[in-house]
């Protein structure tokens, strides 16, 4: 079997899987050589105490590599400031992912929601490996696609690799939260998460245009259509999507480890029993996302003590505020710093329960350059985003 046939067969099998509900995208997925856009990537090392990553560098034409690349999985290409392209054999990456080739099924799902029509001008925010730009260009023409990313290397690498198989969309290295390369677009899709929704996107979105994006630190996927009054209105989609946040530097700000030192076991200025059960914020994700919408920027950590099985949740903020909640036979909450973070969490939970724990997918979005919001079904909650 030739190399060309092997990758095209793998790409077709991937297309068969991810485009069942969006058949118009079968051809782009079948004919986009993802293996040429992602030659190497990072894979998390299980149970690594320092969040380390191993470099995956498989032989170029091996069946193992083709199987990995044409699986519906995200391939992490950059960890912290280190791109897999620049890693040395045996090197380990450290930190959080800062770029990736998003799982193709999610790209197709979002692109299907975007509902691009022939002749539409499309802005792809978050170039990454260039895969989504390749799909758009294949289906709608290079001349109709602009792709942007904050990282000049990502843009140049994607531009070079796309050109090798005939794709030449416009590509720019810019901070996408600022001014955009052109004044008007019919469709904008972001594979990075944002908060606030950049005013520049909304100024550039033509009346009748559509925006698909996610809200930072949540998995809330918004689809909104621009009205003639300059307000894009839409809803949260039923399927979640998690993306890395927009950044202006090579890496994200450091974790709040200094605050965690104080919060880990210290006594707080405010100590009391919790108001109700200590929630598992990794299982009760609607509550976690509501809390993020209400009280943004709080870092959440959790652990289970092996000696007695007690579960502990920590809330940490950049201003030094912290909370530690422990369940068990005598549940207790410790809070310190300038704010009472656990009080805020319990306030959000009480209000949500008073509203019958409405589904987050029933919230509405109103987005404008002057300010954007998510609204609860009865409009009693109005979150700036």
How far out from the chain centre does Cα 264 lie?
28
The SS3 of residue 43 is strand
The SS3 of residue 250 is coil
Q: Which of 315, 287, 289 is nearest to 301 (CA)?
A: 315
Is 372 known to be catalytic? no
Catalytic residue among 30, 99, 372, 376: 99
Across 171-208, b (16+ Cβ under 10 Å) vs e yields bbeeebbeebeeeebbbbbbbbbbbebbbbbbebbeee
**Dihedral Cα 289, 290, 293, 299, nearest 10 deg:** -50
**C-beta neighbour count of 91 within 10 angstroms:** 14
The DSSP-derived string for 92-158 is EEESSEEEEE--HHHHHHHHHHHT--TT--EEEE--TTSHHHHHHHHHH-GGGEEEEES-HHHHHHH
Element (H, E) at 45: none
Residue whose tokens read 């594979």: 191
CB 67 within 8 A of CB 80: no
Using a 10 angstrom Cβ sphere, with 0-12 exposed, 13-18 middle and 19 or more buried, the burial of residue 262 is middle
The DSSP-derived string for 329-350 is SS-EEEEESSS-HHHHHHHHHH
**How many Å apart are CA 354 and CA 132, to the nearest integer?**
42
Angle of CA points 357, 361, 367, to nearest 5°: 120
Length, in residues, of the chain: 385
Q: Which residues are annotated as catalytic?
A: 99
């Amino acid at each position: 079997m030739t190399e060309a046939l092997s990758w095209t067969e793998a790409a077709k099998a991937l297309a068969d899987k991810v485009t069942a509900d969006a058949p118009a995208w079968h051809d782009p997925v079948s004919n986009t050589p993802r293996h040429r856009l992602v030659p190497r990537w990072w894979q998390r090392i299980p149970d690594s105490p320092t969040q380390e990553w191993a470099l995956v560098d498989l032989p170029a034409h091996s069946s193992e590599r083709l199987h990995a690349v044409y699986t519906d999985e995200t391939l992490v290409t950059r960890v912290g400031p280190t791109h897999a392209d620049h890693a040395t054999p045996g090197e380990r990456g450290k930190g959080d992912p800062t770029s990736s080739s998003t799982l193709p099924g999610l790209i197709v799902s979002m692109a299907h929601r975007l509902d691009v029509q022939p002749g539409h001008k499309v802005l792809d925010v978050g170039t990454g490996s260039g895969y989504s730009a390749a799909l758009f260009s294949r289906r709608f023409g290079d001349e109709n696609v602009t792709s942007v990313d904050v990282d000049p290397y990502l843009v140049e690498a994607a531009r070079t690799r796309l050109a090798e198989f005939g794709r030449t969309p416009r590509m720019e290295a810019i901070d996408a939260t600022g001014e955009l390369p052109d004044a008007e677009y019919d469709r904008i899709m972001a594979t990075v998460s944002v908060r606030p929704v950049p005013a520049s996107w909304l100024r550039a979105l033509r009346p009748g245009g559509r925006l698909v994006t996610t809200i930072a630190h949540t998995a809330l996927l918004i689809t909104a259509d621009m009205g003639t009054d300059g307000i894009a209105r839409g809803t949260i989609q039923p399927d979640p999507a998690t993306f890395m946040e927009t950044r202006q530097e090579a890496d994200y700000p450091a974790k709040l480890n200094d605050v965690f030192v104080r919060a880990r076991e210290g006594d707080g200025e405010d100590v009391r029993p919790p108001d109700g059960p200590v929630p598992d914020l990794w299982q009760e994700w609607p509550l976690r996302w509501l809390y993020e919408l209400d009280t943004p920027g709080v870092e959440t950590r959790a652990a289970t003590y092996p000696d007695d099985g007690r579960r502990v949740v920590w809330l940490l903020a950049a201003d030094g505020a912290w909370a530690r909640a422990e369940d068990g036979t005598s549940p207790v909450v410790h809070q310190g710093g300038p704010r009472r973070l656990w009080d805020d969490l319990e306030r959000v939970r009480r209000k949500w329960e008073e509203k019958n724990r409405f589904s987050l997918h029933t919230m509405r979005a109103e987005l404008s350059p002057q300010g954007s919001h998510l609204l609860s079904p009865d409009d009693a909650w109005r979150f700036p985003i």
